[in-house]
Structure 1
Amino acid sequence: MTTLVTGATGNTGRHVVRELMRRGERVRALTRNPAAAVGLFPPGVELVAGTHTAPETLDPALEGVSRLHITVTSGLAEVGPELVRRAVEAGVRRITVVWGGAVGPVEQAVADSGVEWTRLEPQEFMSNTLNWIDTVRAEGIVREPYDFPSALVHEADIAAVAAVALLDNGHAGRAYNLTGPQSLTPRERIAILSRAVGRDIAFVPITHEQAVDRLIATGVPRADAEYVIDWYSTSDDAATTVVDTVDQITGRPARTFTQWADEHAERFQEPAVTDRLTTP
C-alpha cells in the first residue's frame, strides 16, 4: 500500500516521509518542486509535483493511494474538504491530519470522511525556534513579546506518532494531544540554545503590536498574525501542560529541546563560524 504525504518538504512532512520509509513503507511525497527535494529523502521515495491547496490537480497523485497524511496550513481551510473528498473517492482508507490549532473545516471534513482517521494536536513546534535564526546570527538576540512557558514538541515526534497511526490499528477516531517532555519559556529555550551554539544570546522584549507587525511584514495576513501572537499572549493550560502521549504511542520518550537545539545549532552560528564549519 502507498501513503501520500502532503507538504512533504515541510518541517513535519519530511519527518513523516522518513519515518514511513524507515518502517519499509511505499511513500509518495507531494511537493511543489520535486527537483529541489532530490536528495532530501532516502532512496525509494516517489516524488510528485503538486500542492494540497489545489486539490483539483491531485487526482494523479492520489491514484493507488490507500493512506494520506495532511498538515493543515494557511490557505487550506477553504479547499481542504475538497482534498478529503477526492482522497476518499480515490480509495484512501486511512488519514492522519496535523491540526491547525483548532477543529476547523479540514479537521471536521476528515472526521466526517467515513474512513479511519487520527487527528494529531501538537502544541508549539520546536521548529518555531527557527524564526530566531536571523537575529541570533546577526545580533545575538531574540525579540519576543511574551515569556510564557510552552510544552514544545519535536516535529520528528509528531511524525513518529503519525506513522504509528497510519500503519497500526487501534488509532481510528482518536485525537492525540502532543507535547515534548518539558514546558519551557523563551528565556529558558534561549539558555539551552546558547549552550548549543556556544554563544550568549539575549532576550529582548517587544510589544504585542510589534510582534504582529513583524509577522505581517513576512506576508502573513493580519488576522492570522493576530491569532498567532494572541496564542502566545496567555499561559494556556493545554499549551503548557506536559503529556506523555508520544511515549505511549511510540514506546519511547519524547525528544527534548536540548536534542533539537543540538541538531540545529549550526544554523544559528554566526556566518564566519558557519563558514569554518562547512569549508573543506
Structure 2
Amino acid sequence: MILVTGATGNVGRHVVGELLCAGAKVRALSRDPASARLPGEAEVAHSDEPPMDGVTAIFLNPAAFWNGADDLLARAVDHGVRRVVVLSSAAALDPDPSNDIAVRHLRIERAVEDSGMEWTFTRPGEFATNALAWRDAIRAGDPVREPYAAGRTTMIHERDIAAVAAKALLTDDLVGARPVLSGPEALTRPEQLRLIGQATGRPVRFEEITPEEARKELLSRPYMREGIADVLLRLRAESVDHPAEPTGEVERITGRSGRTFAEWAADHADDFC
C-alpha cells in the first residue's frame, strides 16, 4: 500500500493515477474525502488522521505539512514504512538563507533523512501550473502583466513530476537520489503565452511591468508573504542573464521525453476558456 499525501493536488492526483495504472494499491489523503473525485480503485482517507496499516511507502507533499511532518514520519517509522518520496523543490539548491521556499523544503528533507527510512527527493523547478495564475486575465481579454519579459524558465508539466515520483515509489532506481526536474525547453513569458493562445484559440496579450509593480501584485494575492514574493522576483531577474537549462532528468528516469509547454497548454486549454 502506498500512501499519497496531497492526493487532490496538481501533482498528487497524477501520482495516484500513475500508481494505479502500475497495479499498486493506493491510499489517497484528502481534507474532504467526499469531494476528492479520485479513481474508485483508490482508497480515500482523511488527511487529519491518515491510517498507516499496511503502508510501505509514502508520497510526501510538503504543502500539506508546512508546520513540519515530524508526527507523520514518526508514525510511519512505528508502522514499518520503508520509503518516503518527497515533492521537494529545485529551490533547495539555492544557498541564499533568505529563500524561505528553500528553507522549508530543506527542513522536510532533513527530517526525512533523519527518520532512517529510504528516501528520494524530487526537486522540480517552476511548475507549468503556475501559469494558471493568468487564467482570469486571459478569460477577461486583459493583458497578462509580468516583469522580466526576456527571462527564460523551464516550466515542467505536473504529469512528468508524477511519473518520476511513481518511479521512485515503485522501484529502487532512485533511492537516495535528488533529481532536479525541468521541462524540456526554456521559454520566455511571451512565448509561453503565445502557446496558450494557440491552444485556446483566444487572443492573449502580454504587458511587461516593473519589478515594483509586480511585487505589489504578488503581495495582493492571498497567502503571499513578502519573503516569498522577493525570492520569486529575484529568481525571475536571474532568469534574464542566467536562463534555466533543461536538466534532462525526466527523460533519463522515465525513458521518454518530457512534455513540452505546448502540450501542457493543450491539456489545460479549458482552464483558460
TM-score by length of 1: 0.86
SS of residue paired to 2:7: coil
**Cα contact 1:78–1:105 (8 A) shared by 2:** no
Pairs aligned (count): 258
Residue 134 (structure 1) aligns with: 136
Opposite residue 203 of structure 2, the aligned amino acid is D
Residue 277 (structure 1) aligns with: none
SS of residue paired to 1:174: coil
Measured on the aligned residues, the alpha-carbon RMSD in Å equals 1.9
Looking at structure 2, the residues matched to 83 and 238 of structure 1 have their Cα atoms a distance apart, in angstroms, of 38
Residue 116 (structure 1) aligns with: 118
> Per-residue CA shift, 1:33-82, capped at 9, x if unaligned?
11111xx32221111112xxxxxx43x42232111001222x73432233
Looking at structure 1, the residues matched to 7 and 31 of structure 2 have their Cα atoms a distance apart, in angstroms, of 9
Looking at structure 1, the residues matched to 241 and 76 of structure 2 have their Cα atoms a distance apart, in angstroms, of 35
Summarize the Cα distance change of 1:77–1:105 in structure 2 as closer, same or farther, 3 Å threshold: farther
Opposite residue 29 of structure 2, the aligned amino acid is L
Moved beyond 6 Å, runs of 4+: 236-239
Opposite residue 86 of structure 1, the aligned amino acid is R
**Which runs of no fewer than 5 residues in structure 2 stay unpaired?**
93-104
Residue 31 (structure 2) aligns with: 32
Residue 42 (structure 1) aligns with: 39
Per-residue deviation at 1:13?
A: 0.7
Per-residue deviation at 1:264?
A: 0.8
**Match for residue 56 of structure 2 among 62, 66, 69:** 66
Summarize the Cα distance change of 1:135–1:21 in structure 2 as closer, same or farther, 3 Å threshold: same
Per-residue deviation at 1:87?
A: 2.0
Looking at structure 1, the residues matched to 267 and 60 of structure 2 have their Cα atoms a distance apart, in angstroms, of 25
Looking at structure 2, the residues matched to 80 and 230 of structure 1 have their Cα atoms a distance apart, in angstroms, of 28
Summarize the Cα distance change of 1:209–1:33 in structure 2 as closer, same or farther, 3 Å threshold: farther
**Cα contact 2:8–2:38 (8 A) shared by 1:** no
Residue 197 (structure 2) aligns with: 194
Residue 172 (structure 1) aligns with: 175
Looking at structure 2, the residues matched to 257 and 178 of structure 1 have their Cα atoms a distance apart, in angstroms, of 14
**Match for residue 258 of structure 1 among 256, 262, 266:** 262
**Match for residue 229 of structure 2 among 218, 222, 225:** 225
Residue 12 (structure 1) aligns with: 11
1:76 paired to 2:65 = yes
TM-score by length of 2: 0.88
Residue 94 (structure 1) aligns with: 83
Name whichever of 252-261 and 138-147 sits farther off.
138-147
Looking at structure 2, the residues matched to 208 and 124 of structure 1 have their Cα atoms a distance apart, in angstroms, of 19
Looking at structure 1, the residues matched to 80 and 247 of structure 2 have their Cα atoms a distance apart, in angstroms, of 34
Per-residue deviation at 1:111?
A: 2.1
Looking at structure 2, the residues matched to 151 and 8 of structure 1 have their Cα atoms a distance apart, in angstroms, of 25
Residue 273 (structure 1) aligns with: none
Looking at structure 2, the residues matched to 109 and 5 of structure 1 have their Cα atoms a distance apart, in angstroms, of 18
Looking at structure 1, the residues matched to 35 and 144 of structure 2 have their Cα atoms a distance apart, in angstroms, of 30
Looking at structure 1, the residues matched to 261 and 146 of structure 2 have their Cα atoms a distance apart, in angstroms, of 18
Alignment of 1:197-212 (within 5 A): 197-212=200-215
SS of residue paired to 1:24: coil
Opposite residue 26 of structure 1, the aligned amino acid is K
Taking only the aligned residue pairs, the percentage that are identical comes to 41
Per-residue deviation at 1:239?
A: 6.6
Per-residue deviation at 1:29?
A: 0.8
Looking at structure 1, the residues matched to 122 and 244 of structure 2 have their Cα atoms a distance apart, in angstroms, of 17
Per-residue deviation at 1:193?
A: 0.8
Looking at structure 2, the residues matched to 199 and 139 of structure 1 have their Cα atoms a distance apart, in angstroms, of 8
SS of residue paired to 1:143: strand
Residue 249 (structure 2) aligns with: 245
Opposite residue 137 of structure 2, the aligned amino acid is T
SS of residue paired to 1:121: strand
Name whichever of 103-112 and 189-198 sits farther off.
103-112
Opposite residue 259 of structure 1, the aligned amino acid is E
Name whichever of 3-12 and 83-92 sits farther off.
83-92
Per-residue deviation at 1:238?
A: 8.8
